Structure 1
């Protein structure tokens, strides 16, 4: 597995597959590139997909200091530089969508088109999940957390016919320190002030039944980013890109193919 080295010396593992123009796929909080394993092939033939393992996940090293979505965005650029890729389409979901906001705002010359999936601007302007969800996710019982996450990610109908593995539930190999760092990075994300600076063509996608990252965040992003458009996937929860891949993947490809 190839690695790039960030300016602070942390090694970032990355993966490249498929053929076509480069498409960076950014995973959710506390997840490695495996988040995309079941759907990335939807883009192959039309796109070369580039994924990487966030600091503290998969084959990447841990951050020597703190973690932040801005830092993860800089790691995206480190990987692109290592690959010799000047510009790429960027598609981020969940925390990956928060990272993608910073990639597009801080490195506008590197982003051709931007897709923000099931994500939030963060800060005081973003809509947070309700207290019941927060309490369930902070349970000391790992089984309660797993059941809660599955219910937030997928519909009961889909779970009844798909027995796993479920790749969106987190990287179990993470250290407790890295896991806390990812949680802090996501919780402290606030890109509200820079969203109007995004110049890339932008599509905002969200499940209309998402309570993990409330659907109300989608119109916030759409209104804040110049020229952005929004699509809500009917009946979808947080992992719309997996459960509703027959809708979501072509939707994203059609948007990326527009010029």
Structure 2
């Protein structure tokens, strides 16, 4: 088993010609891991290895991030979903498990609703249906993130992502705070894409068994969005992490990783692990 066989860093093109960089690690059933807004594949660095016992993890750099192209023009969560399909097509992957967090969960909603035959199982983490039905973050969060001082804005984001106790034990570096190499137009495009997401009418069309995960202390994407998704998606189940904020997948790594792995491994006649509850 060579390192080249275990890891593949390559690229393909979207229908509009944009270069899309992707990374495949490990062997087994493909698991697509989709990161948050204005982040590249490094969002998953801290936890992707947890799935390699059963899955080959597939990440990508959204357009505007990492090694992917950074075109001008309109960005949207539906466009990002089309980009994921382009990567799956390039790898000749007919069907995959999909785990999207934050804006990646918004992208995953469109993947599962518009391409149901391509998604075997779906995990939506710390995300929202968007639109008028969603529970928006409050004004104090928006003001904290919009501070002119970059250091203060970064600290505000850290506090929204992680609890003080976890930060005290994990001094960094952190890979979930945004791609520093993004040009301003791409960063604005990601913000618009996330803010304009509205998949409410499409959610009932999702046929894949779905697990919704969220940190109860999340103020960046309020936890009230989790039951909205779980109630709107047929047969979906929900699990909340009582002490976690937005980055529950890192802060509650052992519990979250085990829960997701059990869900993905469950046989067809038992689509949900026993500890997932709604």
Q: TM-score range by the shorter chain?
A: over 0.9
Structure 2 partner of 1:27: 35
Q: How do residues 33-72 of structure 1 correspond to structure 2 at under 5 angstroms? A: 33-72=41-80
Gaps of 5+ in 1: none
Where 2:50 maps in the other structure, the secondary structure is helix
Cα displacement string for residues 211-241 of structure 1 (whole angstroms, at most 9, x for unaligned residues): 1100000000000000000000120100000
Match of 1:188 among 183, 196, 200: 196
**TM-score, normalisation: structure 1:** 0.99
Q: Which runs of 4+ in 1 moved over 3 A?
A: none
Where 2:33 maps in the other structure, the secondary structure is strand
Structure 2 partner of 1:111: 119
Superposition CA RMSD, Å: 0.6
How many Å separate the matches in 1 of 2:166 and 2:223?
Answer: 20
Where 1:12 maps in the other structure, the secondary structure is strand
Match of 1:242 among 250, 259, 267: 250
The structural deviation recorded for 1:258 is: 1.0
Cα displacement string for residues 145-185 of structure 1 (whole angstroms, at most 9, x for unaligned residues): 10101000001011111111111100000000000000000
Structure 2 partner of 1:209: 217
How many Å separate the matches in 2 of 1:103 and 1:94?
Answer: 15
Match of 2:26 among 15, 18, 25: 18
The question of 1:219 aligning with 2:227 is answered: yes
**TM-score, normalisation: structure 2:** 0.92
How many Å separate the matches in 1 of 2:73 and 2:215?
Answer: 34
Structure 1 partner of 2:84: 76
Structure 2 partner of 1:124: 132
Where 2:202 maps in the other structure, the secondary structure is helix
Where 2:238 maps in the other structure, the secondary structure is strand
Where 1:203 maps in the other structure, the secondary structure is strand
How many Å separate the matches in 1 of 2:72 and 2:209?
Answer: 35
The structural deviation recorded for 1:63 is: 3.0
The structural deviation recorded for 1:109 is: 0.8
How many Å separate the matches in 2 of 1:155 and 1:64?
Answer: 36
Match of 1:98 among 106, 128, 131: 106
Q: How do residues 102-181 of structure 1 correspond to structure 2 at under 5 angstroms? A: 102-181=110-189
The structural deviation recorded for 1:65 is: 1.8
Structure 2 partner of 1:255: 263
- Tell me if structure 1 keeps the 8 A contact 2:72–2:186: no
- Tell me if structure 1 keeps the 8 A contact 2:120–2:209: yes
How many Å separate the matches in 1 of 2:257 and 2:74?
Answer: 33
How many Å separate the matches in 2 of 1:92 and 1:223?
Answer: 18
Cα displacement string for residues 97-150 of structure 1 (whole angstroms, at most 9, x for unaligned residues): 000000000111100000000000000000000000001111111011101010
Counting matched residue pairs gives 259
